Chains A and B, each alone.
Chain A
Amino acid sequence: MTAIGLSDVTVHYGRTEALSRFSLDVAVGETVALLGPSGSGKSTALKAVAGFLRPTSGTIRLDGRDVTALPPHRRGVGVVVQQYALFPHMKVAENVAFGLAGIPRAQRKERVAEVLAMVGMSAYAARRPRELSGGQQQRVAIARALANRPRVLLLDEPLSALDAALRADMLGELQRLKRELPETAILYVTHDQGEALALADRIAVMKDARLVDEAATAELYHRPPSAFTASFLGAANLIPGSIVDGRVAVGDGAGYVCVRPHAVGVAAPGSGLAATVTGVQWRGATYRVTLALSDVEAEVRADVASLDGLPGVGEPASVVLPATGLTVVPRD
Chain B
Amino acid sequence: MLVWSRGGRVLLWTIFALVFVPVVLAPLAVLVLAAFAADWNGVLPGAYTGAHFGEALSGEEISSLSVSLQTAFLAGTAAVLTGTWGALAVRAAPRALRRIADAVLHLPVAVPSVVVGLGLLTAFSRPPIALNGTMWLVVIAHFVLVLAFAYSTVSAALDRTDPAFALVAGSLGASPWRVLWRVRVPMLLPSIAAAASLSLALSMGEVGATIMVYPASWRPLSVTVFTLTDRGRVFLASAETVVLLVVTVVILAGLAVATRRGAAKQR
Contact = CB atoms under 8 A, between A and B. Distances in A.
Interface string B1-21: 100110000000000000000
A239 to B, nearest CB: 45
Interface residues of B, number: 3
Interface residues on A, range: under 10
Q: Is the interface of B mostly helix, strand, loop or mixed?
A: loop
Contacts of A72: 4
A283 interface: no
Nearest to B5: A71
Contacts of A71: 4-5
Nearest to A70: B4
Contacts of B1: 52
Interface of A: 51-52, 71-73
A71 B5 CA distance: 7
A72 B5 CA distance: 10
Contacts of A52: 1
Interface string B89-122: 0000000000000000000000000000000000
B9 to A, nearest CB: 11
Contacts of B5: 71
Contacts of B4: 51, 71-73
A49 B4 CA distance: 14
A73 B2 CA distance: 11
A73 B3 CA distance: 10
Nearest to B1: A52
B111 to A, nearest CB: 35
A73 B4 CA distance: 9
B7 to A, nearest CB: 11
A149 B4 CA distance: 23
A241 to B, nearest CB: 49
Nearest to B4: A71
Interface in B137-196: none
A185 to B, nearest CB: 23
Top 6 A-B pairs, shortest CB-CB distance: A71-B4, A71-B5, A72-B4, A51-B4, A52-B1, A73-B4
A72 B4 CA distance: 8
Nearest to A74: B4
A202 B18 CA distance: 52
Point out which of A51, A52, A71, A73 has the most chain B C-beta atoms below 10 A from its C-beta.
Answer: A71
Contacts of A51: 4
A86 B5 CA distance: 24
Nearest to A51: B4
Interface in B54-105: none
Nearest to A69: B5
6 contacts: A51-B4, A52-B1, A71-B4, A71-B5, A72-B4, A73-B4
Contacts of A73: 4
A331 B1 CA distance: 42
